[in-house]
Amino acid sequence: MKKAGILNRDIASVLARMGHTDTLIIADCGLPIPDETVTIDLSLKLGTPDFLSVLEAVAEDMAIEEMTLAEEIKTSNLSLHNQLKTDYAEIPTMYMSHEDLKRHIRNAKAVIRTGEASPYANVILKSGVIF
């Protein structure tokens, strides 16, 4: 049995298969995910698990080169935006429209669906390298 890191076997497997510039999306419970996209659904009930807890666990186990948020988070979920900018200040942050973000779902290795129920709580994580 694993002693540290992500215990969820599906998330651990995706992280182990990621290469430089591959993407992983952590999503709220409302993001539309195409049927053909690998989805790891962690949602148990509204709000559980929350977006920040899942992001924190993934960020501890993943080399993140860049994160992309929906431009709309700046006005529609300012508290989450400010928390992300504080907690992940060392990671360059890009922005795109929510519609563009949804178009990028098909290119992701996987989407981790949380129980988060606040607006625009979605992030595209671009894999970095550890050397």
C-alpha 41/C-alpha 43 separation (Å) is: 6
Asked if the model's pLDDT at residue 75 lies above 80, the reply is: yes
C-alpha 63/C-alpha 15 separation (Å) is: 9
Strand, helix or coil for residue 27: strand
Return all residues near 4 (Cβ < 8 A) that are at least 6 apart: none
pLDDT digits (tens, 9 = 90+) for 14-52: 999 999 999 999 999 999 999 999 999 999 999 999 999
Name the residue ranges covered by the structural domains of the chain: 22-37+66-118
Active site residues: 20
Task: Identify any residues that bridge with 127 across adjacent strands, giving them in sequence order.
Answer: 64
- The bridge status of strand 123-127 relative to strand 23-27 is antiparallel
Tokens at 82, concatenated:
């400010």
Q: What is the pLDDT of residue 120?
A: 98
Q: What is the pLDDT of residue 4?
A: 84
Asked if the model's pLDDT at residue 1 lies above 80, the reply is: no
Longest dimension (CA), the chain: 43
CATH architecture of 22-37+66-118: 3-Layer(aba) Sandwich (3.40)
pLDDT digits (tens, 9 = 90+) for 89-122: 999 999 999 999 999 999 999 999 999 999 999 9
C-alpha 11/C-alpha 111 separation (Å) is: 10
Asked if the model's pLDDT at residue 2 lies above 90, the reply is: no
